[in-house]
Amino acid sequence: MRRRTGILVGAAAAAVAVGAGALAYEGGDTGGGRSERPPATATVTRADLALAKTVDGKIDYARRRAVKAAVPGTVTVAAREGATVTRGQALYELDDKPVTLLYGPVPAFREMKVGARGSDVLELERNLVALGYGSGLYVDPRYDRATAAAVKRWQKSLNRTPTGRVGKGDVVFQPEQVKVVRADAALADQVGPDTAALTVASTRPVVRARLDQTDASLTAKGTKVEVTLAGGTTERGRVTGTVDPEGSGEEEASGDTITVEVSLDGGASAASGEDAKATASVKFVSESREDVLTVPVEAVVALRGTDGGYGLQVVEGRTSRMVRVETGMTADGRIEVRGSRIREGMTVGVATE
């Protein structure tokens, strides 16, 4: 469901008000003559205006990606959906052996053993130290006897045969802890290098929403967003970009829509306890004005004559006078007005049909 709640205007928006029944005032002198009190009035108020569009969204997690088995095998313990897996913990088990999560940007692409050199070895050694198995280990890209000894200590803690080697497929390197968003392989499934065993994501919650192609301007990185969660709380956030529907958990998407990802300012705790299947209300704010003077759109008067422009019919007792103003943006039926002769609390005339 999509709801448009504001329209962006300049001076032309005030002209629209005239067409809706506002007065047209002859003459350029707005400081003198008085007229009778208008039949309808409103008050000049100070408020925030926002040009916004509201759509439905879903809670998800950032940076979804598939984890594939590096070697063929049978799943003996499947990944647990919804689990948060940290360094040293098993993502799943293959052929009765745990596939362990370690931290690092370089994938585990080979068997690591004495004599090997490379950035994957450096990553492994850093993780061994972080897990408490790095006694006597000098962290560098060389897999030496000290590395093998540290690996044996680690393997014993996992109840694995202490070979001192890390086989291809024994570990998975990810940049940080991960959230298991989907178990792609079930118990007893056969998996391999072309098969996703599970899908993981960052533990940072995001909200994904679909916008029409005509609202592409709202997908700009940094666009302000207000998210009302199913539990009733409202969280502020910003657009971080667009995502491929295939990698975002979107079940139905068409070429007429854009899937937008929104990060929540509150971080991991912002959506704590929220039902990921529940619908959130996502309000995209493309433009806003804070703490400005506003009146109903119907209060703006087009001034005819040499100077033209726009004005407000300021009411004082039983009479009124015309005051020239500049107009800004409108939202929810109110328009921003500026001028040295207007202030909050003034009474102004409003056109009636």
CATH code, domain carrying 316: 2.40.420
Q: Which range has highest mean pLDDT (170-174, 256-260, 286-290)?
A: 170-174
Tokens of 91: 């993502």
Buried b (16+ CB within 10 A) or exposed e, 115-129: ebeeebbbbbbbbbe
Are 219 and 185 in the same domain? no
Choose one of 256, 288, 320: the last residue of a domain. Answer: 288
Choose one of 201, 229, 248: the last residue of a domain. Answer: 201
Distance CA 182, CA 188 (A): 17
List Cα–Cα distances, 168 to 109, 126, 143, 153, in angstroms: 7, 18, 15, 19
Are 88 and 188 in the same domain? yes
Q: What is residue 287's predicted lDDT score, i.e. its pLDDT? A: 84
Q: Residue 314: which pLDDT band, with cuts at 50, 70 and 90?
A: very high
Residue type, 108: A
CA angle 304, 309, 314 (to 5 degrees): 90
Distance CA 156, CA 186 (A): 27
Are 76 and 187 in the same domain? yes
Q: What is residue 191's predicted lDDT score, i.e. its pLDDT? A: 97
Q: Check pLDDT > 50 for residue 20.
A: no
Are 103 and 213 in the same domain? no
**Residues spanned by the domain of 262:** 54-62+204-288
Q: Which range has highest mean pLDDT (56-60, 95-99, 267-271)?
A: 95-99
Q: Check pLDDT > 60 for residue 81.
A: yes
Number of domains into which the chain is organized: 3
Per the CB < 8 A criterion, the answer to whether 151 and 144 are in contact is no
Distance CA 44, CA 152 (A): 76
CA angle 77, 177, 281 (to 5 degrees): 100
pTM of the model as a whole: 0.65
Q: Read off the CATH number of the domain in which 241 is found.
A: 2.40.30.170
Are 319 and 302 in the same domain? yes
Per the CB < 8 A criterion, the answer to whether 27 and 304 are in contact is yes
Tokens of 63: 């940076």
For residues 252 and 228, which has the higher predicted lDDT (pLDDT)? Answer: 228
Are 125 and 84 in the same domain? yes
Are 77 and 189 in the same domain? yes
